[in-house]
Amino acid sequence: MKQETPPASITPSAHGFSPGFAALGLEARLLATLDQLGYEEPTPIQREAIPPLLAGKDVLGQAATGTGKTAAFALPLLQRLAHGVKAQPAALILVPTRELAMQVGTALERYAKELRTRVLTLYGGQAMGPQFQALKRGVDVVVATPGRALDHIRRQSLKLEQVQVIVLDEADEMLDMGFAEDLDAILEQTPATKQTALFSATMPPRIKSIAHRHLKHPVEITIAKEPVKAGTAPRVQQTAYVVTRPYRHAALSRILDMAGPKSALVFCRTRVEVDEVTAMLNGRGHRAEAIHGGMSQPQRDRVMQAFRTGQTELLVATDVAARGLDIPSVSHVINFDLPSSAEVYVHRIGRTGRAGREGTAITILDPREERLLRSIEHVTKAKVTVAPVPSVADLLAKRLDRTREAVQEAMQAEDIDGFRGVVEAIAASSDPITIAAAAMKLIFRAQGGEREEQDIPAVPIRRPDPYRTMPRTGGRPGDRDRGTPPRRGNRTPQGKPGRGGRTAGMARVYIGSGWSSGITPNDLVGAIANEARINSKVLGDIEVLDRFSLVEVPEAMASKIIDVLGRTRIKGQKVVARLFRE
pLDDT digits over 357-408, tens only?
Answer: 678 899 998 887 777 787 778 777 778 888 888 888 888 888 788 778 777 7
- Residue 225: pLDDT band (50, 70, 90) is low
The DSSP secondary structure of 286-338, one letter per residue, reads --EEEE-TTS-HHHHHHHHHHHHTTS-SEEEEEHHHHTT--PPPBSEEEESS-
pLDDT at 8: 32
**In 16-90, where do the E strands start and end?**
59-62
Q: Rounded to whole angstroms, how far apart are CA atoms 358 and 236?
A: 6
- CA-based nearest residue to 366, from 346, 352, 386, 342: 386
pLDDT at 471 over 80: no
Q: Which of 85-89, 216-220, 233-237, 539-543 has the lowest mean pLDDT?
A: 233-237
**Residue 164 DSSP SS3:** coil
What is the spatial order of strands in the sheet that 59-62 belongs to?
119-122, 141-144, 91-94, 165-168, 195-200, 59-62, 219-222
pLDDT at 447: 65
How many angstroms separate the Cα of 124 from the Cα of each of 144, 303, 473? 9, 49, 33
- Residue 266: pLDDT band (50, 70, 90) is very high
**Residue 63 DSSP SS3:** coil
Q: Rounded to whole angstroms, how far apart are CA atoms 123 and 135?
A: 14
**Residue 181 DSSP SS3:** helix
Checking 111-118 for CB contacts under 8 A at 24+ apart, the result is 111/30, 111/33, 111/34, 111/71, 111/74, 111/75, 111/78, 112/33, 112/78, 113/33, 113/36, 114/29, 114/30, 114/32, 114/33, 115/29, 115/30, 115/78, 115/81, 115/82, 117/78, 117/81, 117/82, 117/141
CB atoms within 10 A of CB 481: 9
Instruction: Give 170: exposed, middle or buried? Use CB within 10 Å, 0-12, 13-18, 19+.
Output: buried
User: How much of the chain is helix, strand and coil, in % rounded to 5?
Assistant: 45, 15, 40
Pinpoint the alpha helices (H) of 447-519: 477-481
- CA-based nearest residue to 387, from 371, 368, 364: 364
- Residue 565: pLDDT band (50, 70, 90) is confident
b/e map of 66-76 (b: 16 or more CB within 10 Å)? bbbbbbbbbbb
Pinpoint the alpha helices (H) of 381-508: 392-411, 417-427, 432-446, 477-481
Q: Which of 187-191, 215-219, 231-235, 454-458 has the lowest mean pLDDT?
A: 231-235
pLDDT at 26: 92
pLDDT at 467: 35
pLDDT at 6 over 50: no
Q: Which residues pair with 141 in a beta bridge?
A: 91, 119
**What percent of the chain clears pLDDT 90, i.e. is strictly above it?**
26
pLDDT at 310 over 60: yes
- Residue 414: pLDDT band (50, 70, 90) is low
- CA-based nearest residue to 510, from 560, 536, 548: 548
Structural domains of the chain, with CATH: 12-222 (3.40.50.300), 237-392 (3.40.50.300), 468-483+502-579 (3.30.70.330)
b/e map of 295-327 (b: 16 or more CB within 10 Å)? beeeeeeebbeebeeeebbbbbbbbebbeeeeb
CA 207 vs. chain centroid, Å, equals 23
Q: Which residues pair with 144 in a beta bridge?
A: 94, 122
pLDDT at 226: 52
Average pLDDT, the chain: 79
- CA-based nearest residue to 436, from 411, 418, 414, 413: 411
The string of pLDDT tens digits covering residues 423-457 is 888 888 888 888 788 878 887 777 666 667 777 88
pLDDT at 472: 41
Q: Rounded to whole angstroms, how far apart are CA atoms 463 and 467?
A: 8
pLDDT at 356: 57
pLDDT at 462: 54
Residue 84 contacts residue 131 (beta carbons within 8 Å): no
pLDDT at 323: 66
Instruction: Give 457: exposed, middle or buried? Use CB within 10 Å, 0-12, 13-18, 19+.
Output: exposed
- Residue 232: pLDDT band (50, 70, 90) is very low
How many angstroms separate the Cα of 465 from the Cα of each of 461, 483, 485, 497? 12, 7, 11, 18
CB atoms within 10 A of CB 347: 17
Nearby residues of 514 by Cβ (< 8 Å), 6 or more positions away:
544, 545, 546, 547, 548, 549
- Residue 180: pLDDT band (50, 70, 90) is confident
Phi-psi region at 255: left, alpha or beta (left = phi > 0; alpha = psi -120 to 50): alpha
For residues 507-519, give the mean pLDDT.
Answer: 82
Query: Higher pLDDT residue, 483 or 187?
Result: 187
Cα-only R_g, the chain: 28
- CA-based nearest residue to 268, from 335, 353, 320, 326: 335
How many angstroms separate the Cα of 551 from the Cα of each of 41, 199, 340, 495, 541? 45, 28, 34, 14, 6
Residue 289 contacts residue 314 (beta carbons within 8 Å): yes
pLDDT at 217: 94
Q: Rounded to whole angstroms, how far apart are CA atoms 101 and 457?
A: 23
How many angstroms separate the Cα of 499 from the Cα of each of 173, 207, 296, 475, 479? 21, 22, 62, 11, 13
Q: Rounded to whole angstroms, how far apart are CA atoms 49 and 53?
A: 6
Q: Rounded to whole angstroms, how far apart are CA atoms 165 and 58?
A: 9
